[in-house]
Amino acid sequence: MQPPDHQEIDHVQAHLNPTRPFIFTFTLFVLSSLALFVSGCSSSESTDYRQFSEKIDHDRPEPDTTVADATPEQKPVEPAAQVETSSTAPAKPEVTVPPSEQTASATAKSDAAPQNTSEKPPADTTLPVVAQRPDPKMRAMTKEEVAQEKSASEPREVKILVKDRSFRRTSPENALLVNYDDIDLLKVMNMEPVTPEAPELMPDWLKNLDGKRIRIRGFMYPPFQQTGNEYFLLARDNQICCFGKNPKIYDLFPVIMREGVTADYILNRPFDVVGVFHINAESFDGELERIYTIDDAIIIDK
């Protein structure tokens, strides 16, 4: 038998040890990778390694994250949080603003400032509306009335202007027919303002009406209820009734109905009242409240 040649021996060895080339190749790959890794680490500077809490140097250029070919459907995603601005960032140049523009800007800011909605609205302190009869003295006065009030503020000289006056009797109950001019103290005795001493200064014919049954025509001042009124205020005319002017004390006085008799509200229409006339000056807190009264009254509405 011939001894095997060297080629056959190498072939047999390679067949029996198939991992030798692989091990050699793998070892070479590991050594080359290690060399590349070490060379990469050694080429970096020490300033690239910083603590996590350090601020980013804004002097270094930031990577451009803008997508050039971004479509409306694919927009670049904005960062979730902004990085704190470095104290070393260059300051913006100051721009001098004229005083007029500063004032206008301050006014615009104050106007545009949102209101504080956290404040609670003030509590509603308004009182409920209560039905009540209006006071004619609370309305606005005309120029003529203002002039009259101004002249009336100065006391007039009291003197008898109507020295005598007679009255005829009429039905029902044989009452004396009287009108508002007969009891107008300004026309009768030039008295303005009316004082508590008025009954003593009246002429005799007017004093004699006290306690007499009279019949007088007037308007009903709005009462507190529509029906069943046991008393009401008799007004000289419907201007007083409808608050057209301030009434004098002798232009508006109470009427007390006869016992068992009541009155319904007569709206804006004149009617006659028959009752006993009284002259009695009544004051309250030093101010004259009334001077005339009619009681035991009935209404003649024809």
286-296 pLDDT per residue, tens? 789 999 999 99
CATH number belonging to domain 157-300: 2.40.50
Residues of the chain with pLDDT under 50: 44, 49, 52, 55, 67-72, 79-89, 130-131
pTM listed for this prediction: 0.51
Cβ(248)–Cβ(292) under 8 Å? no
In this predicted structure, what is the pLDDT of residue 181?
96
Alpha carbons 241 and 235: distance in angstroms, whole number: 6
In this predicted structure, what is the pLDDT of residue 289?
92
Alpha carbons 7 and 108: distance in angstroms, whole number: 100
In this predicted structure, what is the pLDDT of residue 146?
75
